[in-house]
Chain A
Amino acid sequence: MSAPNLKVTIAGIEFANPILTASGTFGYGEEFNEFIDLSRLGGIVTKSITRYERMGHPPPRTAETASGMLNAIGLANVGVDIYIEEKLPFLRNLGCRIIVNVAGFEIEDYLYVIDKLNGHPEIDMIELNISCPNVKGDGLEFSSNPEIAYDCVHKVKQVCDFPLMPKLSPNVSDIKVIAKACEEAGADALSMINTLFGMAIDPFTRKVRLSNIVGGLSGPAIKPTALAAVYKAAAVVKIPIIGIGGIMDYRDVIEFLLAGATAVQFGTANFIQPDCTIKAIDNLYKYLLENSIEDINDLIGKVITT
């Protein structure tokens, strides 16, 4: 058998392999440069950037839970101007795809940031963090309502030079409806899932474990939820899906591909094992070889359900 193919294509962009890093778990890429060969990754999704710099929530910002992690960092980031000035140059010519995650609290925020990012050749794609509260609307997440999600994605799509990938929240009654709304609004791909709402309390001190009281749950605890979300969404949209949620190794990657994802993002796993992505790429290749699978694309959506 010839060397198996690991390449996947999303929104016309070819990725060397389906392994990406999830926003907020990989900084701006440079933090991991001393641990792994970044050029081997399929892509890097950088930490959510916003219109202005944000200092984030006071500590404690994280808590360990059963097979998971709660976080309420509060979208701490340098803001789009410093991002372009200081962070983007490092990402130039890294040899892997660069996806910029953009967050906002009103549609104008997204439009402002996208306008600033337009024209920068380092960027391959935009991931739209629509799991933020819409402060000009009812304060609910943009991703929680199909009309609002549609409106947001539609407006951003009009001005965005890059392929656009909304990142969906699992905190909704039916993710299929949101996925469909985003596709109709012009999304080129979808990523899912963002973190689940969560909370932890110290039973002895009676105190909450996060300063923000509630936070986002990630890690292996949410993998089954993520897998089901990908499976359900893949059944109703034609655009590619990037699966996220508790992926720790190549076996998890295969599960997500089988459920219908074209690629995946490693998140919390980066905190535990900085080289988890590289190991997964190597092991994925071995898996294809050992199972005589010529093309990784042959796994996508091929879960056996009967």
Chain B
Amino acid sequence: MFRRAFSIYDYDPENDVVDILYKVVGKGTRLLSKIQANNILDVLGPIGNGFPLPGKDDRSVLIAGGVGVPPLYLLAKQCCTGGFDPQRLTFLCGLTSESEIPMVARVKTLPISFYLSTDDGSAGFHGFVTSLFEQKLADGDIRDDYVIYTCGPEPMLAVVQQLARKHNKRCYLSLESVMPCGVGTCLGCVVKKAGENKYLRVCREGPVFDSQEVEL
């Protein structure tokens, strides 16, 4: 009955095409997966904010967990095409197993450092992407001046948020939430504001937040 909120995976301004990448998890996405070419969809958007682009001198690490890949791919692509030195971008991606590798096909086409982890160890680093991130921190591959961009399941974001705090890094989280309206009126998609008795709307004030702004 409700609309479903998706992040934008790719955008082709010349042909006016927007791609979304989603996982079938319930009734809504199952119905969506039955849509045929040339069917007309009613779309409301774009809504909410986006990631602030890193500065030209920043180094960034993009940490994606599963369905968190799409917005981070687009961010990485924007950086690569926007004159940003691709050497300054590191992309860490956590998937459940190698069967999900098609999700990162486009990420792999970018000239950036890419590292994969899988929960079952079937490809790349064996374990959660947050553990891979910790290893990179310990190895000194990711240094103090890195800005973190992350999107994925909330437990993963909470760990990234803690690591960002511990290592004193700037960190931007893109949150997922059930959004009945998407325009800021139903107040259904809220997240707790850090240090205050207030909730922020993921659809309006977000979905991207400075990790210090919110309590997960």
Chain A positions within 8 Å of B, measured between CB atoms, are 24-27, 31-32, 35, 47, 55-56, 58-64, 67-69, 71, 73, 76, 219-220, 270-274
Contacts and interface: CB of A to CB of B under 8 A. Distances in A.
B197 A55 contact: yes
A26 B42 CA distance: 20
A271 B186 CA distance: 7
Residue of B181, B183, B184 contacting most chain A CB atoms (<10 Å): B181
B187 A31 contact: no
Interface stretch (B30-38, B88-96, B125-133, B188-196): B188-196
B165 interface: no
Interface in B163-216: 177-178, 180-192, 197-199
Interface of B: 1-3, 42, 44, 177-178, 180-192, 197-199
A62 B199 contact: no
Contact of B191 (A27, A31, A59, A271): A59
Given A56-B199, A272-B1, A272-B2, A62 B178 contact: yes
B65 to A, nearest CB: 19
A61 B190 contact: yes
Residue of B2, B42, B182, B191 contacting most chain A CB atoms (<10 Å): B2
Contacts of A274: 44, 181, 183
Contact of B199 (A31, A55, A69): A55
Given A59-B188, A274-B183, 19 more contacts: A24-B186, A31-B184, A55-B199, A58-B192, A59-B191, A59-B199, A61-B190, A62-B178, A64-B1, A67-B1, A69-B2, A71-B186, A73-B187, A73-B188, A219-B1, A271-B182, A271-B185, A272-B1, A274-B44
Contact of A64 (B2, B184, B191, B198): B2
A173 B190 CA distance: 35
B190 A56 contact: yes
Nearest to B204: A31
A26 B197 CA distance: 23
A76 B185 contact: no
B2 A60 contact: no
Contacts of B177: 59
Given A55-B197, A55-B199, A62-B180, A69 B1 contact: yes
Given A67-B1, A69-B1, A219-B1, A27 B185 contact: yes
A62 B185 contact: no
A32 B180 contact: no
Nearest to A269: B1
A69 B180 contact: yes
Residue of B3, B44, B184, B188 contacting most chain A CB atoms (<10 Å): B188
A271 B199 contact: no
A98 B118 CA distance: 55
A24 B180 CA distance: 13
Nearest to A27: B185
